[in-house]
Homo-oligomer: A and B are copies of this chain.
Amino acid sequence: VSNLIKKLAELKELVEGAETRIIAVAAAEDQDIMDVVKAAGRSGMAQFILVGDGEKIKSLMNQNGIQEDLAKVIHVPGHKAAAEKVVELAKSGDCHAIMKGNLHTSIFLKAMLDKEKGVTKGGLLSQVSVYDKVYGEGLQLLTDCVMSITPTLEEKSDIIRNAVELAHKLGYEKPNVALLSAVEVINPKIPDTLDAAILSKMCDRGQIKGCVVDGPFALDNALSGEAAKHKGIQSPVAGNADIIVAPNLQVGNVLHKAIVYMAKKDVAAAIMGADVPVIATSRTDTVASKLLTMRLALYLART
């Protein structure tokens, strides 16, 4: 059993004994959502409000033997309206987390980002993957693998702040943040090495708080103390990264997928920067990883 599963089981115990947590799903007319509801129902993890095409949802619930006490249905036709409804349920405190169903991510995000009715804190929304460290003990966070294609310096600092907030909630008092690139030296031909230097200094000057930021690092010297030593790198973060920050979406996405598909690790994912925990699993995620992601969101709903 991975540390991630153990940690989230601990978190689950914290969650248990508390009032039941409710997850509102936008555009829930989808077999994948039914699989997750069934599995979450078996473990007593949560109850659901399924928003979307009421008739289709009820028909799918019947086919899957899902009872009304596990999942309440609200009929709101149209993806945009369904997304707005779950955001409204979060705002009014009628649910503890929101989840993307069978609708396009951009529609879901638009409802979240609405200036008046949305649920963002004003900064950037960003995604964080959580998995067992390969070197050393505990969990490692990787960000952003889903949301920002080519983040600006300002957006990168928001991405770091969001991941640090999650690390704090997972028990890291002062997480080590490694800014990833292809190399560990400054190279003006690789602009993200310049961003890494600047972000490191922003942390030194207290503009990014509650963590130690250093970079650029190549992946090997962020992960492995031995690899860092070979390169003569002096840094508390080298070989000891709690948070890995990808320079752009391509790198984050490929690294996330290499961890899942090549290193075969359990991965949970969180979307940070909103007032409410957000669950946005991918169709290709396993049911197991969808449940880990949900468990993480339910824990965050408590903290």
Binding site for B on A (CB under 8 A): 134-135, 149, 180-183, 189-190, 192, 218-221, 223-224, 227, 230-231, 246-255, 257-265, 283-284
Contact = CB atoms under 8 A, between A and B. Distances in A.
A221 B253 CA distance: 12
Contacts of A183: 253
Contact of A134 (B180, B230, B261, B284): B261
Nearest to A224: B261
Contact of A263 (B247, B254, B263): B263
A250 B247 contact: yes
Given A230-B283, A250-B190, A258 B261 contact: no
Contact of A250 (B135, B192, B221): B192
Contacts of A265: 262
A247 B247 CA distance: 14
A181 B255 contact: no
Contacts of A252: 182
A259 B259 CA distance: 9
A253 B258 CA distance: 12
Contact of A253 (B135, B182, B224, B231): B182
